[in-house]
């Protein structure tokens, strides 16, 4: 059996879909379906069982927990970067992850988990998987950073596979339930459909309008990295998962406009509340992935967004 926490979420549901395509249906989906609309992400999936997150945590210390499990893909977390209740965030993203990590180690079950590129803060020191580059600037980022720190302490003490992935800006099918946290590609698509305009932030941090740059990575590529590590249990560590390219928001918007063959870009004032807490530039250093042996090329924004819109708009 394979366990996927956060299995009804964006990346988790895409992970299960890819596992199904491999013929793997013996899957335990763990989630917390307070937002029942997430069921649309999983209605077409084949799983062996569903378990609420609270029940899953309750069973962690019971005899037989994880018996017969090959791997845990731990994608479940409080993913809101705007959440400032530190106790809530640490309980969900740090304590929960620690418990599950030790349960996996005790049974020698592969533990493959989601970290975040948010640990690099404003990126002033670069985006390498090094302590000198890490400076989280919100509670969500701190929880992810602190768990990575804990993993660094544990890694030398075990032969169990532990692989953590610092996701950069992931976009693709299955993110519609995330609301304001959905990708810019999703929002631009909706804006063009509704208002014939894609709304981008005006320039900031010395950059021109819409020229802020992010490492946008398509969800299928993210899933492929996860499954590659499942197939290579000898590989452990913490890795950046991005394309290794920084592309502009203008490029995303123009790709959306080109797909629809209509619309225009409107630049809106940069929000006051985001000043000092916004990543104007990200670019993953993926040398660690390449050294581990993962050699597949990542989709560009034009390739990935076009593929996404084909799915999103069912053309």
Name the residues annotated as catalytic.
140, 178
SS3 237: strand
- Residue pair 223/11 in contact (Cβ under 8 Å)? The answer is yes
Q: Which of 225, 97, 105 is nearest to 161 (CA)?
A: 105
Query: What's the rounded Cα separation, in Å, for the pair 288 and 246?
Result: 18
Cα–Cα distances in angstroms (integers) from residue 208 to residues 126, 202, 203, 280, in the given order: 21, 7, 4, 11
Query: What's the rounded Cα separation, in Å, for the pair 118 and 169?
Result: 10
Query: What's the rounded Cα separation, in Å, for the pair 298 and 46?
Result: 27
Tokens of 81: 């970067």
Backbone region of residue 205 per phi and psi (left: phi > 0; alpha: psi in -120 to 50; beta: other values)? left
Cα–Cα distances in angstroms (integers) from residue 315 to residues 184, 309, 311, in the given order: 20, 8, 7
Tell me which residue has tokens 């807490």.
277
Query: What's the rounded Cα separation, in Å, for the pair 314 and 56?
Result: 36
């Amino acid at each position: 059996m394979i366990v996927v926490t956060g299995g009804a979420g964006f990346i988790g549901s895409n992970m299960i879909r890819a596992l199904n395509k491999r013929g793997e249906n013996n899957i335990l989906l763990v989630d917390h379906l307070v937002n029942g609309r997430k069921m649309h992400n999983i209605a077409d999936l084949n799983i062996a069982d569903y378990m609420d997150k609270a029940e899953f945590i309750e069973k962690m210390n019971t005899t037989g927990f994880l018996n017969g499990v090959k791997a845990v893909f731990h994608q479940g977390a409080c993913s809101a970067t705007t959440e400032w209740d530190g106790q809530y965030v640490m309980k969900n993203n740090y304590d929960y992850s620690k418990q599950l990590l030790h349960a996996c180690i005790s049974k020698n079950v592969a533990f493959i988990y989601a970290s975040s590129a948010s640990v690099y803060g404003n990126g002033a020191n670069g985006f390498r998987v090094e302590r000198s580059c890490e400076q989280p600037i919100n509670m969500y980022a701190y929880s992810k950073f602190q768990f990575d720190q804990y993993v660094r302490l544990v890694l030398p003490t075990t032969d169990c596979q532990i692989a953590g992935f610092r996701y950069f800006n992931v976009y693709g099918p299955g993110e519609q339930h995330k609301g304001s946290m959905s990708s810019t590609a999703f929002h631009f698509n909706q804006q063009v459909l509704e208002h014939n305009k894609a709304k981008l932030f005006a320039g900031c941090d010395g950059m021109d309008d819409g020229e802020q740059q992010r490492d946008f990575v398509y969800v299928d590529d993210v899933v492929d990295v996860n499954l590659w590590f499942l197939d290579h249990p000898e590989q452990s560590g913490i890795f950046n998962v991005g394309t290794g390219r920084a592309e502009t928001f203008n490029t995303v918007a123009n790709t959306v406009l080109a797909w629809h063959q209509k619309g225009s870009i409107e630049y809106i004032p940069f929000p006051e509340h985001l000043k000092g807490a916004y990543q104007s530039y990200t670019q993953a250093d993926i040398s660690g992935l390449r050294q581990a042996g993962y050699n597949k090329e990542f989709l560009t924004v034009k390739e990935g967004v076009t593929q996404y819109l084909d799915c999103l708009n069912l053309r």
